[in-house]
Structure 1
Amino acid sequence: MVSTTDATPEQVRAALAELADPARAAASARFFKTGPGEYGEGDAFLGVTVPQVRSVAKRFAGLPLDGVRRLLSSAVHEVRLCALVILVGRFDRASRRRARDDAERARLASFYLDAVRRGRVDNWDLVDASADRILGAWLLDPVAAPGAPAMHDLDELVASPDLWQRRVGIMATFAFLKAGDGAPTLRLAPRLLSDPHDLVHTATGWMLRELGARVDRGELEAFLEANAARMPRTMLSYATEHLPAEERARYRAMR
């Protein structure tokens, strides 16, 4: 790990650039739909694998927040991912300390929400690697802190015209599901039934599936009874994935 005083965003970028693979970069650009009019339009890739990104993030775990902010402004996908992995690690360390650092947790949660609103967390893998680990984890166990994220911020995110903010809003509820609490997912999911984007359908269906698997299958079934007829096909498919085949067929027939 590079110390807090030594780490710089330029070092992080250089470390990632050393691992660049042009062939993998081209494949990633296709996989993450970067063509004109696609959800990842204009995103740039180095061709660095996720394990490699995580290894670099571990080396530069002491990067100051201003450096993380500068990395998040990069046009390069893996650079932004590395910044988020550093941020998640920092939040985890603040949460695990014997004397938990709630001031640091509040600061990091606020920093993350600001980055989301500024459009820095702007692809599905970036969202999924960070939303529940920072924003969700904070909201699950918050402390009084001026300006820190609150539950109403999830409502604002799922109502946003921005695809990625909506995905962050529903994915943040994963932290609650892991803790056995399905209420935030059940509160937000109905608002996304008419969402226009498949990437929100997949995330919402995923969280509903986890509701049934981790919290209470009866709560999932009650939601499906009330909403299956108007759920997008992909959302319903994800939500019913762990149910018996005959139940899946019955709910899908309701559409």
Structure 2
Amino acid sequence: MIAQQVITDLKAKANPEKAKHSQRFFKTGPGEYGEGDRFLGINVPEQRKIAKKYRALPTDEVAILLQHSYHEVRLTAAYLLVYKVEKGDENTLKEVVDCYLDNLSGINNWDLVDSSCHQILGRRLQDKDRRLLYDFAQTDDLWKKRIAMITCYHFIKQKDFDDALAIAEILLNDGHDLIHKAVGWMLREIGNRDLDTEEAFLKKHYQNMPRTMLRYAIEKFDEPLRQKYLKGEI
């Protein structure tokens, strides 16, 4: 079982018209965040199906996929790693995390980040030092910053909010829309579990946070309260 078999299966599902749409959707033009990325045009359910078929693929072969030029090959590799940790033991988790971090350059768009980091890094850091996330949050690398924030989703699900709030504060003044959305999303997830905690953060920061971040954070609020935040009346 080798990486090339996965690539062959994926290429058999290629759709050139969908690939063109994906290149626009994932901002692959000059100067855009996905500049130069290439697509086969394969929908996510097909990629997940292929990932499940090859879940026994050794991690050194998955590493080859994570460095592939086609976006869907890298995304399928990310799904593969997630499926491995869902069924594996602590040794498997460590092996997967090492593979993930060694090939992090292949996790280079928001769907790749969001589909993998909280399941992989979040699970690994559940009972360990989380300094790595703070290091990522303070880099100039867009994807590492998004990984830092979205990895906290794993902790948020356990009602462990401290790191998510601290990293949100670090990223509060970041200039990129994809970070605004990530922070707002995680604040909303905190609020889904503990509205008082989310509101305490918002009351301190909402007047200075980017508008997109605020809108994402308050999306599920009752409309009168949402309008108060938008109008600066809290």
The TM tier, using the shorter chain, reads: over 0.9
Cα offset, 1:205, TM superposition: 0.2
Aligned to 1:196: 175
SS at match of 2:7: helix
Cα offset, 1:105, TM superposition: 1.4
- How high is the TM-score relative to the length of structure 2? 0.97
C-alpha separation in 2, matches of 1:191 and 1:115: 25
- Choose the corresponding residue for 1:233, options 211, 219, 223: 211
Matches within 5 A, 1:169-188: 169-188=148-167
AA at the equivalent of 2:121 = L
C-alpha separation in 2, matches of 1:137 and 1:234: 29
AA at the equivalent of 2:188 = R
Aligned to 1:127: 113
C-alpha separation in 1, matches of 2:207 and 2:153: 24
- Percent of aligned positions with the same letter in both sequences? 43
Matches within 5 A, 1:82-231: 82-94=76-88, 101-116=89-104, 119-142=105-128, 150-214=129-193, 216-231=194-209
More off after superposition, 55-64 vs 102-111: 102-111
**Uncovered stretches (5+) of structure 2, i.e. residues with no partner:** none
Q: Contact 1:201 / 1:232 at 8 angstroms: preserved in 2? A: yes
Cα offset, 1:223, TM superposition: 0.4
C-alpha separation in 2, matches of 1:52 and 1:102: 29
Which aligned segments of 4 or more residues in structure 1 are displaced greater than 6 angstroms? none
How many aligned positions are there?
233
Cα offset, 1:103, TM superposition: 2.1
AA at the equivalent of 2:116 = S
AA at the equivalent of 2:215 = S
Aligned to 1:98: none
Q: Contact 1:113 / 1:135 at 8 angstroms: preserved in 2? A: no
SS at match of 2:74: helix
C-alpha separation in 2, matches of 1:110 and 1:250: 46
State whether structure 2 residue 10 is matched by structure 1 residue 16: yes
SS at match of 2:65: helix
Cα offset, 1:110, TM superposition: 2.6
Compute the RMSD of aligned alpha carbons: 1.2
C-alpha separation in 1, matches of 2:122 and 2:64: 23
Aligned to 1:49: 43
Aligned to 1:74: 68
Cα offset, 1:120, TM superposition: 1.2
Aligned to 1:28: 22
AA at the equivalent of 1:188 = I
- How high is the TM-score relative to the length of structure 1? 0.89
Cα offset, 1:242, TM superposition: 1.1
Deviation string, structure 1 residues 59-107 (Cα, Å, up to 9, x no partner): 111111111110111110000001000000001111xxxxxx2122122
C-alpha separation in 1, matches of 2:83 and 2:127: 17
